[in-house]
C-alpha cells in the first residue's frame, strides 16, 4: 500500500516537471510562430498583405479577425528607426506592434490617432535619446514608440465589410510604408 503511494507520488511529481519543461520549452523550438509565418508570406522590411479568410485559399495566421483586411511587416532596427505610415479610409483601423515572439507590445486605433492618418516611428532607446537631443521638425506630429527589442512585427488591420470600400482599403494596405529611416 505504502509502496503504491510512493509510486503514485513519484508519477505526479515527474509529470509536473515534464509539464513545466514542455510549456516553457515550446517557444524555444517553435517553427510556426508569427515571425516565421509572416516570413513565409513575404519579405522583411515592408508590409505584406495577409491572405484573408473566405477570400483566399491560403490560410491566414491564426487569431486574426476575418472582417479585417490586414497587412504585416517584419522589421528590425539595425538600419535605424522604422517609420510606419498609412492613410486608411474613414473606417475602424488598428496598428498592433508585436515582439519577436508574437506577443502584443503596443497598439493604436483610428480613434486614438485622432482621425489623422497613421504615422508612427518605432525607435530603440538610443534612437529616442538622439531624437530628444536633436528633434527634427518633421517629426513633430509623429507618434514615437520606444522599442525594447531589436526585431518586431507591425500589423495593420482595416475593417473591410463594406464591399464598396474594398478597392480603397486594398490600395491603403498596398501603399502602407514600413521603412527604415536613419537619423541624420
Partner 1 sequence: MRFLLTLLAAMVASLGLGVGSAWYLIAAPHVGTETVGAWRSLPTVDAETASPYTRARVARIGELGMGTGLGLTFTAVGDDGGRRLDGRCDYAIEGVSPTARLWTLVATDGNGRAATTPGGRTAVDSRTALRDGAGRFTVTAAASARPGNWLPVPAGGGFTLTLRLYDTPAAASADRLPVLPAIVRKDCP
Cα-Cα-Cα-Cα dihedral of 54, 58, 62, 68, to 10°? -40
In terms of C-beta distances under 8 Å and separation of at least 24 residues, what long-range contacts does 101-105 make, across chains too?
A: 101/27, 101/33, 101/35, 102/33, 102/34, 102/35, 102/153, 105/147, 105/148, 105/152
Range in contact with partner 1 (rule: CB under 8 A) among 10-18, 118-126, 127-135, 173-181: 10-18
Give yes or no for a contact between 62 and 163, defined as CB atoms under 8 angstroms apart.
no
**What span, in angstroms and rounded, lies between the C-alpha atoms of 85 and 179?**
9
Decide if residue 175 touches partner 1 (CB under 8 A).
no
| Nearest distance from C-beta of residue 28 to partner 1, angstroms | 8
**What's the CA gap between 145 and 119, in Å, rounded?**
11
- Of the pair 153, 169, the CB lying nearest partner 1 is at 153
Enter the C-alpha cell of residue 49: 498583405
Residue number with CB closer to partner 1 (130 or 168): 168
116 scored as a contact of partner 1 (CB under 8 A): no
Are the beta carbons of 145 and 119 closer than 8 angstroms? no
- Residue 146 binds to partner 1 (criterion: CB under 8 A): no
Which part of the chain contacts partner 1 (CB under 8 A), choosing from 54-62, 116-124, 132-140, 170-178? Answer: 54-62
Quote the least distance from Cβ 56 to partner 1, whole Å: 10
- Beta-strand relationship, 82-86 and 143-146: unpaired
Applying the rule CB under 8 A, the residues between 59 and 98 that interact with partner 1 are: 59, 61-67, 72, 92, 94, 96, 98
**Which residues in this chain contact partner 1 in the complex, by CB under 8 A?**
7, 10-19, 21-24, 26-27, 30, 32-34, 36-37, 53-55, 59, 61-67, 72, 92, 94, 96, 98-99, 101-109, 111, 153, 155, 159, 161-162
Amino acid at each position: 500500500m505504502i509502496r503504491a503511494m510512493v509510486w503514485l507520488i513519484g508519477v505526479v511529481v515527474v509529470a509536473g516537471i515534464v509539464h513545466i519543461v514542455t510549456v516553457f520549452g515550446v517557444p524555444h523550438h517553435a517553427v510556426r510562430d508569427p515571425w516565421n509565418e509572416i516570413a513565409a508570406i513575404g519579405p522583411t522590411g515592408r508590409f505584406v498583405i495577409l491572405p484573408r479568410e473566405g477570400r483566399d485559399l491560403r490560410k491566414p495566421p491564426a487569431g486574426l479577425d476575418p472582417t479585417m483586411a490586414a497587412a504585416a511587416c517584419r522589421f528590425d532596427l539595425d538600419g535605424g528607426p522604422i517609420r510606419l505610415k498609412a492613410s486608411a479610409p474613414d473606417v475602424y483601423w488598428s496598428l498592433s506592434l508585436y515582439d519577436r515572439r508574437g506577443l502584443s507590445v503596443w497598439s493604436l486605433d483610428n480613434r486614438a490617432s485622432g482621425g489623422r492618418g497613421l504615422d508612427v516611428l518605432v525607435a530603440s532607446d538610443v534612437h529616442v535619446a538622439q531624437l530628444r537631443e536633436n528633434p527634427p521638425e518633421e517629426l513633430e506630429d509623429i507618434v514615437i514608440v520606444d522599442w525594447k527589442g531589436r526585431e518586431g512585427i507591425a500589423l495593420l488591420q482595416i475593417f473591410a465589410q463594406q464591399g464598396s470600400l474594398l478597392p480603397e482599403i486594398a490600395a491603403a494596405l498596398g501603399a502602407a510604408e514600413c521603412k527604415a529611416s536613419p537619423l541624420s
